[in-house]
Amino acid sequence: QKEVEQDPGPLSVPEGAIVSLNCTYSNSAFQYFMWYRQYSRKGPELLMYTYSSGNKEDGRFTAQVDKSSKYISLFIRDSQPSDSATYLCAMSADNTDKLIFGTGTRLQVFP
């Protein structure tokens, strides 16, 4: 079983749609959960950072962590063509710097 699993997509949605992106993981030691956005030929850009379980909202983005199910989600409301990118989940455990990434989900929002 892979440590972090993420559906690679591509996911294609119309402008204005609600997008749901997900990752599952196997390591119960993970406590820190991040979502990054990566445009073509660019580095990962931090979108959301959460610790342990719960929800966090920032503008059109909501991150959810369910540690009991080892499942994290990123919701994008009112999606825009500029949201078209690859979305990477990443996570780490206490007392380690190492981020474990998912493979990324490619999202395309069409006008």
Partner 1 sequence: EPEVTQTPSHQVTQMGQEVILRCVPISNHLYFYWYRQILGQKVEFLVSFYNNEISEKSEIFDDQFSVERPDGSNFTLKIRSTKLEDSAMYFCASSPEVNQPQHFGDGTRLSIL
Matching residue, tokens 């990443």: 90
CA neighbor of 5 nearest in space, from 78, 71, 83, 94: 71
- Name residues contacting partner 1, limited to 35-94 (CB under 8 A): 36, 41-46, 49, 88, 90, 92, 94
Q: How far is the CB of 36 from partner 1 (least distance, A)?
A: 7
Pick one of 24, 32, 56, 67: the residue that binds partner 1 (CB under 8 A).
32
- Name residues contacting partner 1, limited to 1-30 (CB under 8 A): none
Q: How far is the CB of 104 from partner 1 (least distance, A)?
A: 7
Task: Give the count of residues interacting with partner 1 (CB under 8 A).
Answer: 25
Q: How far is the CB of 48 from partner 1 (least distance, A)?
A: 9
User: Which residue ranges make up the site for partner 1 (CB under 8 A)?
Assistant: 31-32, 34, 36, 41-46, 49, 88, 90, 92, 94-104
